[in-house]
Chain A
Amino acid sequence: MSESHTHPAHLAHHFSDVEQQRESAKFGMWVFLLTEVLLFGGLFMAYAIYRAWNPDMFYNAHKALNIYMGTANTFVLIASSVTMALSIRSMQLDKRKQTIGFLIATLALACIFLVIKYFEYSHKFHVGQLPGKYYSYTGIKGTNPHIFFGIYFGMTGLHGLHVLAGMSAIVWVLIKTVKKKFSAEYYTPVEMVGLYWHLVDLIWIFLFPLLYLIG
């Protein structure tokens, strides 16, 4: 414990050095991401079981999804991951204004994702392609097509909530960046939010083929 040495403001009292603090934050974040994967794991499991039981229905039902909007959203999210990574890189190089720009770009892309999702959802609400007892659409052949939409809305809905959570986290680091809390020496929160955002992106990368590209 070298408390007599210089003690940076961002170093919490219970860590002995900056390296220990940064390593702990990173490790903690990865463990948290693991819990997120397991949370979605339950839904992936449900997907696998019901698709195995109703292969034809899943094939027929997936055609009701708008593949163009899905593809567009995939590109939007990948682009947002790039801008997120660039914002961390800029902070490492101490370019604060660039960081702010990239964070705002990430937020904008996240908004575009949600807007596209809104159009997809509202179309499905309109034609009655809904979960469970609210399902009123008649154009899909096969057993229990409402199950497909239950899983579709469950998975994309939970993912959408994660997009919102990620956006709030980005706003939080954006404010701190504007307030000059970060520098090339200390940017751990930006990095952590980046890790989270990549996970949100990655989950979509799995959702997209599983839901939109059956066949």
Chain B
Amino acid sequence: MSEAVAEKNYLNDPKGWKSWVFTLDHKRIGILYLASITAAFFLGGVFAVLIRLELLNPGQDLMGPDTYNQIFTLHGAVMIFLFIIPSIPAALGNFFLPLLIGAKDVAFPRLNLASYYIYVFGSMFAVYSIFTGAVDTGWTFYTPYSTETQTSVIPMTLGAFILGFSSIFTGLNFIVTIHKMRIPGMTWYKLPLFVWALYATAIIQVVATPVLGITLLLLIFERVFSVGIFNPDMGGDPVLFQHFFWFYSHPAVYIMILPGMGIISELIATFSHKKIFGYKAIAFSSLGIAFISFLVWGHHMFVSGQSELAAMIFSFLTFLVGIPSGIKVFNWITTLYKGQIHFDTPMLYALSFLFLFTIGGLTGIFLGALATDVHLHDTYFVVAHFHYVMMGGTVMAFLGGLHYWWPKMFGKMYNHFWSVIAMILVFVGFNVTFFSQFILGSQGMPRRYYNYLDQFQPLHAFSTIGSWILGAGFIIMAIYLIHSLFKGRKASDNPWGGLTFEWATGSPPPHHNFKVTPKMTHGPYDYDKVLVEQTDY
């Protein structure tokens, strides 16, 4: 903020650290979340690099089996609960949802701030557990091992329980905001598709997360009082824990991917300068995914002793997820067709999403098929599939969104050249790291082991090198993004030529979002009716 004439915006008005710590402004809360999830991503990333380093050679190099179990558990727990679940909704969603619907704030600003501090509080429990004998159960906390291990299960599960409330409050806030805070004239079918995606996400957050809450509470009871509900020696059933856990955690993977899909819809339309194809199909496929997500949890238990009939039904229902996901991918591709495509950095991320998510989604169908799953279950194939969807999907979309909205959030442009270099490194590094794991898995390399047979070494080494390329990409990204904050060129109000409301206000936006309340004069993707000027070419 070193300009001679400092314009008033949400970043510099009001001033003082207290105005940030106690802020009720959704934009500032979004920035607080963004900083926190970035820290979590860094922590989880360090664990990931350590895992890959241990796996560079067979045998024990860096850490023993027990430490390895703790490190991969922490990688999973931190990335899932601290990074990816809050990533898009709580950081970018918080910042942009009110802007996209022309509102001054979310419906409950104080609840919004509370959700942030609950997130911080829950994260502190998770970090505390790292220093008091980190958990080694895997992020899924399966019983009976999680009730017997000597590591600190309770602080981590309590942390996840508290983080769940943060997620519920964000979801609740978004549902009410989308229902009640739209400006007059913005009907449901004029909502930007990112808002539809956030809405579908919020429904899952609100409906699924309480079930995780009670599951983790029961696990804590089990450890503290040995209630016996999950203990077969005492008449309980450990598979019941898996049912409870996946009833939340399968929908939770859609909490992670749906907002990413929403960002992709925005990016594809803006950078194709074309009306999005199949608006309603994309909007309803988000709700469709949210609905189906509650019916497929059993596909995590094909080899857990579930009845064959149940497994068949879950397998069939799992295939159904492919339909709305496919609808989205085809609509995005059709939007590209005959569009005026601009290959800016956000669009490059959107295109890599299309490529990587399709691979991730397709391999999900393999895993949903019963016979194939019995072969691939608990192998690196599952690891690769999950990372293609979560990192190739959600993280790519998050990075796309971050680069798309960065000029709006901070009023500064990042270096174009370095952003493309970083994007290429991330894309190449990702594929090197994880495509090799599909092959490893199909050859029988089981997941969650610190050691392996010599025959797997070349592919493991290849994957480890990929993790270094990925790391280099992220380091470059961190450098040019931080650099842009201080030395970046000033961004215009609408650098990409978008039609949604956030581009109609200042970069960065003023404290109350809009100087003049925007009016619904056109739909969010009416590139056929409105001529927008792009200022950044």
Contact = CB atoms under 8 A, between A and B. Distances in A.
Contacts of A39: 210-211, 213-214
A28 B176 contact: yes
Interface residues of A, number: 38
Interface string A128-150: 00011110000000011011001
B206 interface: yes
A146 B214 contact: no
B104 interface: yes
B214 A150 contact: no
A36 B210 CA distance: 7
Interface of B: 103-109, 111, 168, 172-173, 175-176, 179-181, 206-211, 213-215, 217-218, 221-222, 225-229, 234-237, 240, 244, 512, 517
A209 interface: no
Contacts of B105: 13-14
B104 A31 contact: no
A147 B228 contact: yes
Contacts of B168: 35
Given A28-B176, A39-B214, A144 B108 contact: no
B472 to A, nearest CB: 42
Contact of A150 (B180, B211, B217, B227): B227
Nearest to A57: B235
A150 B179 CA distance: 41
A38 B207 contact: yes
Contact of A154 (B173, B179, B209, B221): B221
A37 to B, nearest CB: 8
Contact of B180 (A13, A27, A35, A45): A27
Q: Which of A38, A53, A144 has the most CB of B within 10 A?
A: A38
B207 A14 contact: no
17 contacts: A24-B108, A24-B179, A24-B181, A28-B111, A31-B172, A35-B168, A38-B211, A39-B213, A40-B214, A42-B214, A45-B244, A143-B235, A147-B234, A147-B236, A150-B225, A154-B221, A158-B217
A43 interface: yes
Q: Which of B175, B213, B227, B235 has the most CB of A within 10 A?
A: B227
Contact of B107 (A1, A28, A46): A28
Contact of A131 (B103, B173, B227): B227
Interface of B is mostly: helix
Which 8 pairs, one residue from A and one from B, show the smallest C-beta to C-beta distance? A144-B235, A42-B214, A14-B105, A150-B227, A38-B210, A39-B210, A14-B104, A132-B226
B176 A24 contact: yes
A183 B529 CA distance: 50
A54 interface: yes
Contacts of A9: none
Interface of A is mostly: helix
Contact of A41 (B172, B181, B210, B237): B210
B176 A35 contact: no
B91 to A, nearest CB: 20
B229 A150 contact: yes
Given A14-B109, A35-B168, A146-B234, A133 B226 contact: yes
Contact of A43 (B107, B208, B214): B214
B225 A35 contact: no
A144 to B, nearest CB: 3
B225 A132 contact: yes
Contacts of B217: 158
A71 interface: no
A24 B179 CA distance: 8
A210 B300 CA distance: 31
Interface string A12-45: 1110000010011001100110111011111101
B235 A46 contact: no
A101 to B, nearest CB: 30
B465 to A, nearest CB: 44
B416 to A, nearest CB: 36
Contacts of B210: 35-36, 38-39, 41-42
A38 B164 CA distance: 13
